Structures are given as structure tokens and as C-alpha cells.
Copies of this chain bind each other. A is one copy, B any other.
Amino acid sequence: MALRTLSAANAAALDKELMSTGAYSLDQLMELAGLSVSQAVYKLLPLNKGTRVLVACGPGNNGGDGLVAARHLHHYGYQPAIYYPKQNKNELYQRLTTQLHALKVPFVTSLPNPLTTSTYDLILDCIFGFSFSGSIREPFPSVIAALASTTVPVLAVDAPSSWDIEHGPPSEGPGKDYHPGALISLTAPKPLVEKFRGRHFVGGRFLGAEVAERYGLVVPPYEGVAQVAEVPVDGEGKL
């Protein structure tokens, strides 16, 4: 059975619905989304105290999910570091940042060049999410080039950054050859998953059966209390 996917327009509509008639706050949804991301990390990379995770955050909601995930990773015992070159000034984002400062999670101002496993064991790509428009402003072209060429395993959040949400990898630019080893789709997979080959997770366990059906989705096969489920895509899983 093909995966049911959510177009960029429907993902925006569903988010809007969850926060209006659904009565969720962005705080709540982002907390649960970021928690799911942190649990996907745990599935990918068994916890050893000191495991180093670089959380690369963009200026929007995808970056906010990364900030939340980093906090949970700290509590699990990972050593997250945040790269967040264009910080969102909205109150929620400032609070998420303050929470990380209080835990002494470091913020780094540049990426090592080359970006290798001598510095990090895993990278979270939280640069762009489902509202990515296709234009990539500085400093993100070089960030995406670094993600595309790194030897460090990458988990992309909602979308490999710079991929078109409907059609997948761009035909030119720094993301042309960017194929992260793992992806976590939040709420539901986006059409780009058809072009993705790697381990695929779904998170954001707040979708009720009625809403899912109305958007042509299925509730992912979460087990027990897990906030994340692994969902095979075609092709072989690898990190």
C-alpha cells in the first residue's frame, strides 16, 4: 500500500485547523513534534552518555521543533549543540532558546569544515519544513551544501531541507545531491517521501481518526506510548 501523504497546502490547512477549531496551541504541537523527533534520534542512535548531536535550526517552525528536540535529548543524556544562525524573535522561540541556555546546551556560531564524525555523531536537519518556498537565503546555501557532503548521519525533520515538498530533490543548487539517511515526517508524510530512500519515521501523535480520515490520511502505527513510529518506504533503509 502506498503511503498516504499530505500536500504542502493540506499540511498548512491541517496545522491551521489544529490551532483553530482543534484548539491546540503552537506550544503544545511543537512540544509533541519535538518530542517525537527526539525519540526518532533514540531509535537511530543508541544512547551513550556523550553522544554528540548537532541540531541545525532554521528560522521557522522546523527550527522550533529542533529546539524542543534538543532539550529532550539533553534530558536523555545526549550532548546536543545548536546551530541557529537566524534566530526567530517571536516569544515562543525566545522561550525555547532560554530553556536550552538554562540547561547549558551550547549554541555554536559556525559549522566545522569539513563536517565529520570527529565532531558530531548525528545531525538533525531542522532548517526548512513543509512551508519551504524554494528560495534559500544566506547563510543556508552553504549549510545545505555541508549537509549534502557530510559524512555524519543526518536525520531530516519533515523534509530534507531544500527539497520541494511535492517533488523531492531540487534539480540544481546545493541540495541537488542531498540524500539524508533518515527522515521523520511530522503529522503525516509529505509527497516528497516518494523520492526518499532511507529510514523513515512518523511523529506528532495528536492526529485523531476523524481528522485523519478527512485529510485522506491514516493514523500511523504507533506502538504503546511511543510518540514515533517507523514506517517503511520503498527501497532499503539506511542511515
Contact = CB atoms under 8 A, between A and B. Distances in A.
A31 to B, nearest CB: 5
A92 to B, nearest CB: 8
A98 B23 CA distance: 6
B75 A222 contact: yes
Secondary structure at the A interface, as helix, strand, loop or mixed, is helix
Interface of A: 21-25, 27-28, 31-32, 35, 38-39, 42, 47, 71-72, 74-76, 92, 94-96, 98-99, 102-104, 205-206, 208, 210-211, 222, 224-225
Given A25-B25, A42-B224, 15 more contacts: A21-B102, A23-B95, A23-B96, A23-B99, A24-B95, A25-B27, A25-B95, A27-B28, A27-B31, A39-B225, A72-B225, A75-B205, A75-B208, A75-B222, A103-B208
A79 B224 CA distance: 14
Contacts of A42: 224-225
A24 B102 CA distance: 11
Given A42-B224, A224-B42, A225-B76, A94 B47 contact: no
Nearest to A95: B23
Chain multiplicity (copies): 2
Contacts of A210: 102-104
A74 B208 CA distance: 9
A92 B205 CA distance: 20
Contacts of A74: 208
Pick the 4 closest A-B CB pairs, nearest first.
A23-B98, A23-B95, A27-B27, A103-B208
A156 to B, nearest CB: 20
Given A224-B76, A225-B76, A102 B25 contact: no
The CB with the most chain B CB atoms within 10 A, among A25, A42, A47, A210, is that of A25
Contact of A22 (B22, B47, B72, B99): B99
A40 B209 CA distance: 24
